[in-house]
Amino acid sequence: MVYNFSAGPGMLPASVLEEVQSQLLSYEGSGVSIVEMSHRSSTFMEVVHDLEHRLRRLMHIPDTYAVLFLQGGATLQFSMVPMNLRNSGRFAYLDSGTWSKKAMQDAKPFGDVVVVGSSASTNYKTLPDWSQPIHDVDYLHLTLNNTIEGTRYTTLPETNVPLVADVSSNILAEPIDVERFGLLYAGAQKNIGPAGLTVVIVRRDLLQEQDVPSYLSYARHVDTLLNTPATFSLYVAERVLAWVEAEGGVSEMERRNREKSERLYDALDSSTRFRPLVTEPSCRSLTNIPFTTGDDVTDEAFRQFAQTRGLIELGGHRSVGGLRASLYNAMPLAGVNRLIETMQAFEQGGHDVSH
Amino acid sequence: MVYNFSAGPGMLPASVLEEVQSQLLSYEGSGVSIVEMSHRSSTFMEVVHDLEHRLRRLMHIPDTYAVLFLQGGATLQFSMVPMNLRNSGRFAYLDSGTWSKKAMQDAKPFGDVVVVGSSASTNYKTLPDWSQPIHDVDYLHLTLNNTIEGTRYTTLPETNVPLVADVSSNILAEPIDVERFGLLYAGAQKNIGPAGLTVVIVRRDLLQEQDVPSYLSYARHVDTLLNTPATFSLYVAERVLAWVEAEGGVSEMERRNREKSERLYDALDSSTRFRPLVTEPSCRSLTNIPFTTGDDVTDEAFRQFAQTRGLIELGGHRSVGGLRASLYNAMPLAGVNRLIETMQAFEQGGHDVSH
């Protein structure tokens, strides 16, 4: 058994992959693979319908919100958000790390970016404060869970401007109160399914005609497939959502993710060799846990040691180094237990390669 | 055996799908599916490398051109082309049908669109003429093969402005002289692999810094993966290209596509019941063949009759109706022979439902 701690594309439920494999050559006895089917065929349109409705049920998304299935990852949303929500051309951002900074950068061609809070001073080990009231902007953007830094918001700013959030790494991993937001977006490749799908959930009254090209206009994607999506990704995502529903829904996912992350954090907090990067418990992500031995060489030695024991992708993001365990919905508790045992074996085994 | 005449997503080689199925739970014995792997892992980077180099070999793409793997389909390219190649802000287009009109529409927010030729007067059953010399524009755009109308260019305009072409439906189906073009783009879901991948081939000297957001800038994608691509689509595309190479390359694909399309056109030209929409042989596509009985009700009766015999997706595009057979690389000659037999059986069987 291999446990895959990749931050994304990440682990998928084994039962889903087995079903996809069994159906790959002939979908439901049709003699044709789902990946060979027209996205306008009745069979595939049913997949899209089921995907949308499962997501609406799981996240309690009301009809006043549209659900869009796009491509280009969260990165393309960094520019589609300001392109489509622009009115005054002033946009507020909370700066909580790498991905929120990228989002800001891509908004700049479309207006003035106002940073209303930043945790740069703690090297993003905490979350930004927002002391001043936020108004006179088209929206306030935040990264609800910071995949690289391992932090997540548990309280939201009180403001009457629409909240926009990147929820790529915590969608379906914990409940999100959709109605607190104007727009949510997420790359699929962490908790939804394979890469190639980006989910956008947007309050319909925020949609407006803008002079933007067809693909880049939210309005053109509402309640229709504008063009050919990554059909395999949508198909597998629908199966993953069926699995989440069968397992008990988002609240059950949260219970499991809380148990997994608390167990790992307890081990890190009590370890003599490893320490977590996020020390403030109220800021800790349920899904992305960065840690270190404090030493690059020893971190790399542990990564290799763990890999020989079937625990893979424990390296930190290339921009920060260190170690990181991503505990998405498909990661079983057994994987976390095995990681903790492996940390203890490394601690006790005299794997001291520090200089 | 089912033969799938879908215009895209279309039929894939059976041997490729079988290999993908056998590897789906554990890629090359790794214990992890390729769709669960980080796009930055050495295993996946090797897939990307092989995909690029197979495409370069198959299409004779010199190093002076970059090969980009994007998302968003040809539709997103309709706006990325003018965004990135803009200098004077004047763009020339040849209007050969539905997709070239969509490309023009999406260029309008970025400059002046000059239509230098149109075949609207023949209802796009022929290709546009370009009598006047073309200069003082940033590029000349054409749709090399018209998926809906079933036409394709066999001669190109002589001009010193960069030629830009949408080659979604004929890439790898026939040789394309890359060095005649400044930029080529293609959605994968016809001759390359599953949907979710868009290939862009661009002459490096045309790349320039523009004030565009990261995902929408070609320069940001050159020789790197800017963000997570649709990994499954890239993986399968690499396997399809290996299949094309093993089968004899693009010239062999062209030989087969020529044989398939000529056989079908011969049957249509000599039929008493069916007729091709494109009557001028020099304009006929090798890959998309629209035809009709001349009557919507009879067309639909034939579509259903063919479906009961395992020939699926023969309906014309929803914008034009009628019938259409797409004969991409993965469609064997046996499928075309079976279609012709089925047309003859329909002709002889008194399936007269016309009013």
With respect to residue B304, please indicate whether it lies within any of the assigned structural domains. Answer: yes
Give the closest of B39, B195, B226 to A229, CB-based.
Answer: B195
- Cα–Cα–Cα angle for A119, A124, A128, rounded to 5 degrees: 30
Residues from chain A that touch B8, judged by Cβ atoms under 8 A, are 38, 228
A83-116 residue pLDDT tens: 999 999 999 999 999 999 999 999 999 999 999 9
**pLDDT at position B73:** 98
Which tokens go with B156? 């190109």
Are β-strands A112-118 and A90-95 bridged in parallel, bridged antiparallel, or unpaired? parallel
State whether A228 and B11 contact (CB < 8 Å).
no
**Which residue is listed with tokens 């992350």?**
A261
Asked if pLDDT for residue A355 goes beyond 50, the answer is no
Where among A247, A271, A299 does a domain terminate? Answer: A247
B82-136 residue pLDDT tens: 999 999 999 999 999 999 999 999 999 999 999 999 999 999 999 999 877 788 9
With respect to residue B50, please indicate whether it lies within any of the assigned structural domains. Answer: yes
Asked if pLDDT for residue B351 goes beyond 80, the answer is no
With respect to residue B312, please indicate whether it lies within any of the assigned structural domains. Answer: yes
Preferred mutation among A80, A218, A232 to probe B, highest tally of B CBs within 10 A: A232
Q: Do A295 and A164 share a structural domain?
A: no
Query: CA-CA distance, B22 to A22, in Å (whole number)?
Result: 10
Residues from chain A that touch B21, judged by Cβ atoms under 8 A, are 21, 24-25
Domain holding A332, by residue range, is: 3-10+248-349
B160-194 residue pLDDT tens: 999 999 999 999 999 999 999 999 999 999 999 99
- Annotated catalytic residue B95: no
A127-137 average pLDDT score: 87
List the CATH number of the domain containing B238: 3.40.640.10
Q: Do A22 and A109 share a structural domain?
A: yes
- Name the residue of chain A whose CA is nearest to B79's CA: A213
Query: CA-CA distance, A221 to A51, in Å (whole number)?
Result: 15
With respect to residue A342, please indicate whether it lies within any of the assigned structural domains. Answer: yes
With respect to residue B355, please indicate whether it lies within any of the assigned structural domains. Answer: no
B268-308 residue pLDDT tens: 999 999 999 999 999 999 999 999 999 999 999 999 999 99
Q: Do A133 and A75 share a structural domain?
A: yes
Asked if pLDDT for residue B20 goes beyond 60, the answer is yes
Please give the span between the terminal C-alpha atoms of chain A, in angstroms, as a whole number: 33
Asked if pLDDT for residue A354 goes beyond 90, the answer is no
Q: Do A255 and A243 share a structural domain?
A: no
Please give the span between the terminal C-alpha atoms of chain B, in angstroms, as a whole number: 34
Q: Do A121 and A260 share a structural domain?
A: no
- Annotated catalytic residue B108: no
A301-321 average pLDDT score: 93
Give the closest of B10, B196, B214 to A106, CB-based.
Answer: B214
**pLDDT at position A210:** 83
Burial tier of B228 (Cβ tally within 10 Å: 0-12, 13-18, 19+)? buried
Which B residues, 286 through 305, put their C-beta within 8 Å of a C-beta on chain A?
Answer: none
Which tokens go with B2? 């089912």
B238-275 residue pLDDT tens: 999 999 999 999 999 999 999 999 999 999 999 999 99
Q: Do B301 and B312 share a structural domain?
A: yes
Q: Is A348 helix (H, G, I), strand (E, B) or coil?
A: helix
Query: CA-CA distance, B339 to B345, in Å (whole number)?
Result: 10
DSSP single-letter state for residue B284: B
Residues of chain A with pLDDT > 90, as a percent, come to 93
ipTM score assigned to the predicted complex: 0.96
Q: A182 near A201, Cβ under 8 Å? A: no
pLDDT range class, residue A241, cuts 50, 70, 90: very high
Which residues are bridge partners to A284 per DSSP? A151
- On average, the pLDDT of chain B sits at 96
List the CATH number of the domain containing B287: 3.90.1150.10
Q: Do A237 and A314 share a structural domain?
A: no
- Annotated catalytic residue A125: no
Residues from chain A that touch B35, judged by Cβ atoms under 8 A, are 9, 12, 17, 194-195, 236
With respect to residue B354, please indicate whether it lies within any of the assigned structural domains. Answer: no
**pLDDT at position A350:** 57
A18-65 residue pLDDT tens: 999 999 999 999 999 999 999 999 999 999 999 999 999 999 999 999
**pLDDT at position B210:** 83
Where among A192, A215, A247 does a domain terminate? Answer: A247
- Candidates B62, B312, B29, B280; CA nearest to B150 is B280
Q: Do B295 and B172 share a structural domain?
A: no
Q: A113 near A69, Cβ under 8 Å? A: no
Q: H or E segment at A57?
A: helix A42-59
A164-191 residue pLDDT tens: 999 999 999 999 999 999 999 999 999 9
Q: State yes or no: cis peptide before A157, omega within 30 of 0.
A: no
Quote the pTM value: 0.97
Asked if pLDDT for residue B332 goes beyond 70, the answer is yes
Preferred mutation among B44, B81, B102, B227 to probe A, highest tally of A CBs within 10 A: B227
Q: Do A299 and A243 share a structural domain?
A: no
Preferred mutation among B6, B44, B71 to probe A, highest tally of A CBs within 10 A: B71
Q: Do A301 and A201 share a structural domain?
A: no
Residues from chain B that touch A233, judged by Cβ atoms under 8 A, are 196, 230, 232
With respect to residue A355, please indicate whether it lies within any of the assigned structural domains. Answer: no
Which B residues, 92 through 121, put their C-beta within 8 Å of a C-beta on chain A?
Answer: 102, 105-106, 109
Q: Do A258 and A150 share a structural domain?
A: no
Where among A247, A278, A303 does a domain terminate? Answer: A247
State whether B24 and A20 contact (CB < 8 Å).
yes
Does A45 touch chain B if contact means CB atoms closer than 8 Å?
no
State whether B24 and A25 contact (CB < 8 Å).
no
Q: Do B167 and B43 share a structural domain?
A: yes
State whether A195 and B78 contact (CB < 8 Å).
no
**pLDDT at position A255:** 98
Nearest C-alpha of chain B: how many angstroms from A281?
A: 28
Residues from chain B that touch A220, judged by Cβ atoms under 8 A, are none
Tally of domains in chain A? 2
Which B residues, 148 through 207, put their C-beta within 8 Å of a C-beta on chain A?
Answer: 187, 189, 194-196
Residues from chain B that touch A20, judged by Cβ atoms under 8 A, are 24
Beta strands in chain B (DSSP E): 3-4, 65-70, 90-95, 112-118, 140-143, 145-146, 151-152, 163-166, 183-187, 198-203, 275-276, 288-292, 311-312, 323-326
With respect to residue A219, please indicate whether it lies within any of the assigned structural domains. Answer: yes
